[in-house]
Chain A
Amino acid sequence: MSGSSFGFFGTDPWWMVILKAVAIFGMLVVLTLFTIWWERRVVSRMQNRIGPNRVGPAGLLQSLMDGFKLAFKEEIIPKSAHVAVYWIAPVISATAAFLAFAVIPFGPTVSIFGVETPLQLTDFPVSVLYVLAIASVGVYGLVLAGWSSGSTYPLLGGLRSTAQVISYEIAMGLSFVAVFLFAGSMSTSEIIAKQQPIWFAVILLPSFLIYVTSMVGETNRAPFDLPEAEGELVGGFHTEYSSLKFAMFFLAEYINMVTVSALAATLFLGGWLAPWPISLWDSANVGWWPILWWLLKVQLFIFMFIWLRATLPRLRYDQFMKFGWKILIPASLAWIFIVATARVFRDDFAFSNQQLLIAGAVVIAVLLIGSWLLQIRSDRKQAAIESEREQELLVPFDAMAGGHPVPPMPGQVLAYTPRRVLAAQSVAAQVIPPALDSTPTEETPNA
């Protein structure tokens, strides 16, 4: 059993695979409980409240108790639900959430019961793409939940979530490209190894920012939580879900938060590598310590999620889509273009980093001056167009100018024909009493 035919399963004995899988499962569930508690406490603090502080030390067990309560609640299934799909949807959501964690590295190689093994369930040449693939399968849960509930608001939520995920997954995928170019690999462990002197968040800052933005969209968290926008869609895709099925969506949302945070840490913040002052310590990156650095980085991102939720109002749907398609995607395409060009000049034409930076500075200066000149030119053109337009408006609009009657364009006024002017005058003569033509007398208001 240990010698599986999959090359990527690695060389772990079978009990090690099970041990790691169970450990990851347990860690994700505990992290979910912790994140819910932490989110409630942080949001409370930001709103000058206290938050849950009754159950357990500092309220830590509150989410556990809430979980019990949720699971034992009455389950209500709408009559119009498509039962099979209605059942499968939360299962897909939760399963996909757990699966994505299989390729996230927590630390370097350690010894467990005398076996040398990396602190990662598995890894293979395209493991970052695997996370992306699992995320796109996970969205089926939301979409199907929306469709199968047989109700309008969930359907709208499901529709939104399809559009949202398709749009933001493109930006997310594009933000990975620069990382792949620099790491020369799509496997998570190799990407971490390649960040040894400097993190990718520093050298690939635009990619990092684009990823961080799109990961909030991908996990349906505020301010991008349009599929469940409670002000508009009651509860969105999970409106008709209750009890344990709702709990599974809840679980999936929080695990997805941890997953995208862990991926962000892996791709851009050096994963389990120690941050700078600690990395001076020789044994910072060996043994079990790296799990702590990893956890701190993940919690940093989760804190950012909470902070965003407490601070920002929800975007309007069209603004959200416009932001994804017209800002994030073009920006990441332009950035990839720049990175790839710089790489080619460095690797194939033997330019040094210093030369590249100088060239970049020159290009930016030229662009700035050019755009300034263009702006002056377009301002002048605009002024010329406007004065021309004003001149045009002075000429009365002729509906029959082209030999065929046309309606006036915006800003133009249809001139009345003599017959219509006459008709209007006769109507006015009948309707308007002569008293109004003279100076109006002041009427005393009724007592």
Chain B
Amino acid sequence: MSIDGELVVFIICGGLSVIGALGMVLSRKAVHSALFIAMVMINLAILYIANSAPFLGMVQIIVYTGAVMMLFLFVLMVVGVDSSDSLIETIRGQRLFGILFGVALAILLIGGIGSSLGDKPDIGLKAANDEFGGNVEGIANLIFSDYLFAFQATAALLITAGLGAVILTHREAWKPKASQKELSVARFMVGAGHPGNKPNPGVYARHNAVNTPAILPDGSLALDSVPEPVRSRDDSLIVDHRAVSTVVELVESEDQN
């Protein structure tokens, strides 16, 4: 067997896929696993392209790497930044059965694919693609003739699943949603509190740290200016008493004049 481009590509991408698959199983962090799967997917896509199936390769990257894995990452990031899976077995003998079934599946796949490929004549990728005038045209011809029913059934299934997910997570609105105008009116109603931005921490004070309350012109402290999480730990507030007394003195001297 001579060394041609396809073999080189296969060795590189196949090797990287195996590394990615192992890394996916062995890494402790869920996000790292997701990244390794993305790597496997991209390498498989390159192998498809090298095997004269450019459409399949591109769709693999757009759909699986770009959308499915991206959604996985999204969920992982929402669930927790640092959550790593616990390694305690919740089902007894899980590992043993996992290995047994894994080996059984591997034997089944190798046997099945090996025996089905044995007596097929090798017509070559170029001939297969040229039958309908190109890779894309060939796939289109198969999907919209022999596999039309399966294709449409899959589409219907996916749309049903999508609609189901939307309905399950949908909550009926009790009241019409407040418009921007209504919100604005409500903000300026009597008793609604301060309508605009609250003063920033550190206004008139000698520090601009986030836990330094702003000082209002009359010398009182604007505790609202410190974010609630900081304010609730009241021991951390920095109050510059010198600044407060200076402001109070200024206000008083102005009052006397």
Contacts and interface: CB of A to CB of B under 8 A. Distances in A.
A17 interface: no
Interface string B54-68: 110011011001110
A146 B70 CA distance: 13
B209 to A, nearest CB: 17
Contact of B61 (A8, A137, A144, A186): A137
Contact of A155 (B5, B6, B81): B81
A165 B126 CA distance: 36
Contacts of B29: 82
Nearest to B176: A410
A129 B59 CA distance: 8
A217 interface: no
B50 interface: yes
A136 B4 contact: no
Contacts of A125: 54-55, 134-136
A21 interface: no
B52 interface: yes
A150 B77 CA distance: 11
B226 interface: no
Interface residues of B, number: 35
A126 B175 contact: no
A133 B54 CA distance: 12
A136 B61 contact: yes
Interface in A41-98: 82, 85
A340 interface: no
Contact of A4 (B5, B35, B49, B67): B5
B12 to A, nearest CB: 14
Nearest to B29: A82
A410 B175 contact: yes
B166 to A, nearest CB: 11
Contacts of A124: 54
A133 B52 CA distance: 17
A126 B62 contact: no
B54 A139 contact: no
Interface in B4-42: 4-6, 29, 31-32, 35, 38, 42
Contacts of B136: 125-126, 186
Contacts of A129: 55, 58-59, 62
B97 to A, nearest CB: 33
A147 B77 contact: yes
B78 interface: yes
A159 interface: yes
A6 B50 contact: yes
Given A7-B52, A85-B31, A126-B55, A143 B62 contact: no
Contacts of B42: 137
Contacts of A146: 77
A133 B42 CA distance: 10
A162 interface: yes
B58 A136 contact: no
Given A124-B54, A155-B81, A162 B70 contact: yes
Interface in A123-149: 124-126, 129-130, 132-133, 135-137, 139-140, 143-144, 146-147
Interface in A147-170: 147, 150, 155, 158-159, 162-163, 165-166, 169
Given A7-B52, A85-B31, A143 B66 contact: no
A140 B38 contact: yes
A155 B77 contact: yes
Contacts of B74: 159, 162-163, 166
A5 interface: yes
Nearest to A163: B74
Contacts of A140: 38, 65, 70
B58 A410 contact: no
Q: Which of B42, B58, B67, B174 has the most CB of A within 10 A?
A: B58
11 contacts: A5-B50, A7-B126, A126-B54, A129-B58, A133-B45, A133-B61, A136-B61, A144-B35, A147-B73, A159-B74, A166-B71
Interface of B: 4-6, 29, 31-32, 35, 38, 42, 45, 49-50, 52, 54-55, 58-59, 61-62, 65-67, 70-71, 73-74, 77-78, 81, 126, 134-136, 174-175
Given A133-B61, A162-B74, 18 more contacts: A4-B5, A6-B5, A6-B49, A7-B126, A124-B54, A125-B54, A125-B136, A126-B58, A129-B59, A129-B62, A132-B58, A137-B42, A143-B73, A143-B77, A146-B77, A147-B31, A155-B77, A166-B74
